[in-house]
A and B are shown apart, each in its own frame.
Chain A
Amino acid sequence: MTTPDPSTTITGSQAASNPSDKGDIGMNKTNLIAEPGKQDIILTRLFDAPRELLFRAFTDPELRTRWWGPRRYSTIVDKMDVRPGGVWRFINRDKEGNESGFHGVYHDVVSPERLVFTFEYEGMPGHVLLETVTLESQNGKTLLTDQSVFQSLADRDGMLQSGMESGANESMDRLDELVASL
Chain B
Amino acid sequence: MFKALADHHRRHLLDSLSQTDGQTLTELCAQLPMSRFGAMKHLRILEEAGLVTTRKVGREKLHYLNPAPIQDIAAWVEHYRRLWEERFDRLEVVLQELQQKEQSNDHPRP
Partner-binding segment picked from B10-18, B24-32, B34-42, B53-61: B10-18
**CB contacts between A and B, total, < 8 Å:** 136
**Please, which residues of chain A bring their CB within 8 A of the CB of B88?**
29-30, 45, 47, 67, 144
**Please, which residues of chain A bring their CB within 8 A of the CB of B73?**
9-10, 160
- Check if A3 sits within 8 Å of B65, measured CB to CB: yes
Main secondary structure of the interface of A (DSSP, over half): mixed
B residues 81-110 in Cβ contact with A at 8 Å: 81-96, 98-99
- Check if B2 sits within 8 Å of A28, measured CB to CB: no
- Check if B21 sits within 8 Å of A9, measured CB to CB: no
Q: A3-B67, A4-B67, A7-B11 are in contact. Are A71 and B95 (CB under 8 A)?
A: no
- Check if B95 sits within 8 Å of A167, measured CB to CB: no
**Please, which residues of chain B bring their CB within 8 A of the CB of A37?**
2, 5-7
Please give me the residue from chain A that is nearest to B89 by CB atom.
Answer: A29
Partner-binding segment picked from A50-58, A98-106, A107-115, A121-129: A50-58
- Check if A57 sits within 8 Å of B98, measured CB to CB: yes
**Please, which residues of chain A bring their CB within 8 A of the CB of B94?**
57, 63, 66-67
Please give me the residue from chain B that is nearest to A45 by CB atom.
Answer: B88
- Check if B15 sits within 8 Å of A6, measured CB to CB: yes
Chain A's nearest CB lies how many Å from the CB of B40? Answer: 19
Range, interface on chain B: 35 or more
Main secondary structure of the interface of B (DSSP, over half): helix
Chain A's nearest CB lies how many Å from the CB of B66? Answer: 10
Chain B's nearest CB lies how many Å from the CB of A149? Answer: 16
Please give me the residue from chain B that is nearest to A4 by CB atom.
Answer: B67
Kindly state whether residue A153 has any CB partner on chain B within 8 Å: yes
Kindly state whether residue B78 has any CB partner on chain A within 8 Å: yes
Assembly CA distance A36 to B14 (angstroms): 13
- Check if A160 sits within 8 Å of B76, measured CB to CB: yes
Assembly CA distance A67 to B87 (angstroms): 6
Kindly state whether residue A16 has any CB partner on chain B within 8 Å: yes
Query: Using an 8 Å CB-CB cutoff, how does the interface string of A24-55 with B read, 1 for contact, 0 for none?
Result: 00001110101011000101010111000110
